[in-house]
Amino acid sequence: MTSRYRLAGVVAVLGMVMAALVVWIRRPREFANPGLVQQAVQSGAANSLAEELPGAWPQWRGPRRDGQIDAGNVRALLGGKPDPMWEVPLGEGYSSPVVVDGRVITLSRSGDEEELQALDARDGSRVWRHAWPTAYTNDYGRGPRATPTVAGGMVFALGAAGRLVAVSLSDGKPVWNVELVGDISKAPPRWGFSGSPLVAGDLVVVQAGPPAGVVAFDRLTGKEVWRASSDPAGYSSPILVRCREGLQLVCLTGLRLLGLDPASGEVLWQQEWPTEFEVNAATPLLWTVPGEGGETLYAFVTSGYGRGCCLVRADKEKGGKFWNASVVYRNTRLRSHFGSPVRMGDLICGFDEQMVTALDWRTGEKRWSKRGYKKGTLLAAGDHLLLLGEEGDLALARPEEKDMRELWRLKVFGDQGPAGKKAWTMPVVAGGMVLVRDEEKLTCLRLAPGKE
List the domain range (segments joined by +) for residue 343: 2-446
Lowest mean pLDDT among 3-12, 142-151, 240-249: 3-12
Lowest mean pLDDT among 104-118, 146-160, 309-323, 336-350: 309-323
What pLDDT sits at residue 14? 52
HSE toward the beta carbon, residue 235, CA cutoff 13 A: 25
C-alpha distances (whole Å) from 346 to each of 132, 252, 317, 369 are 45, 23, 27, 16
Cβ pair 205, 198 in contact under 8 A: yes
User: pLDDT tens-digit profile of 94-104?
Assistant: 999 999 999 99
What pLDDT sits at residue 11? 45
C-alpha distances (whole Å) from 297 to each of 12, 68, 289, 433 are 43, 20, 7, 34
Q: How far apart are the first and last CA of the chain?
A: 81
Residue 41 corresponds to which amino acid?
V
Q: In what order do the strands lie in the sheet with 98-100?
A: 98-100, 103-110, 113-120, 126-133
Q: In what order do the strands lie in the sheet with 355-360?
A: 342-344, 347-352, 355-360, 366-370
Asked if the structure places residue 298 within a domain, the reply is: yes
* Residue 9 predicted with pLDDT over 50: no
3 state SS of 421: helix
List the Cα angle 199/446/128 in 5-degree steps.
50
Q: Verify cis geometry, omega within 30 degrees of 0, for the bond prior to 211.
A: yes
What pLDDT sits at residue 321? 84
User: pLDDT tens-digit profile of 167-208?
Assistant: 999 999 999 999 999 999 999 999 999 999 999 999 999 999
User: Regarding beta strands 428-430 and 433-437, do their DSSP bridges make them parallel or antiparallel, or are they unpaired?
Assistant: antiparallel
What pLDDT sits at residue 48? 77
Q: 93-123 in b/e burial notation, b at 16+ Cβ within 10 A?
A: bbbbbbbbbebbbbbbbbeeebbbbbbebee
Q: Name the phi and psi angles at 71, rounded to 5.
A: -60, -40
Of the chain, the percentage scoring pLDDT greater than 70 comes to 92
User: pLDDT tens-digit profile of 389-415?
Assistant: 999 999 999 999 899 999 999 999 999
What pLDDT sits at residue 10? 43
* Residue 311 predicted with pLDDT over 50: yes
Say which CATH number the domain at 272 has. Answer: 2.140.10.10
* Residue 105 predicted with pLDDT over 60: yes
User: pLDDT tens-digit profile of 215-237?
Assistant: 999 999 999 999 999 999 999 99
Run of H or E residues at 430: strand 428-430
* Residue 24 predicted with pLDDT over 80: no
Own/partner long-range contacts of 224-228 (Cβ < 8 Å, ≥24 apart) = 224/178, 224/184, 225/265, 226/264, 226/265, 227/265, 228/258, 228/260, 228/265, 228/266, 228/267
> What DSSP string runs through 375-393?
SEEEEEETTEEEEEETTSE
What pLDDT sits at residue 452? 38
**Strands annotated E in 201-322:** 203-209, 213-218, 224-228, 239-243, 246-252, 256-260, 267-272, 285-291, 294-303, 308-316
Cβ pair 253, 213 in contact under 8 A: yes
Domain count, the chain: 1
Run of H or E residues at 331: strand 323-331
* Number of neighbouring beta carbons within 10 Å of residue 140: 13
State pTM to two decimals.
0.92
* Residue 144 predicted with pLDDT over 70: yes
User: Regarding beta strands 126-133 and 113-120, do their DSSP bridges make them parallel or antiparallel, or are they unpaired?
Assistant: antiparallel
Assign residue 307 a region (left: φ > 0; alpha: ψ between -120 and 50; beta: otherwise).
Answer: alpha
pLDDT tier at 316, thresholds 50, 70, 90: confident
Asked if the structure places residue 407 within a domain, the reply is: yes
Asked if the structure places residue 421 within a domain, the reply is: yes
What pLDDT sits at residue 58? 98
pLDDT tier at 319, thresholds 50, 70, 90: confident
* Residue 28 predicted with pLDDT over 80: no
What pLDDT sits at residue 133? 98
Residue 40 corresponds to which amino acid?
A
The Cα 222–Cα 246 span in angstroms is 25
Asked if the structure places residue 305 within a domain, the reply is: yes
The more confident residue out of 440 and 295 is 440
* Residue 245 predicted with pLDDT over 90: no
What pLDDT sits at residue 206? 98
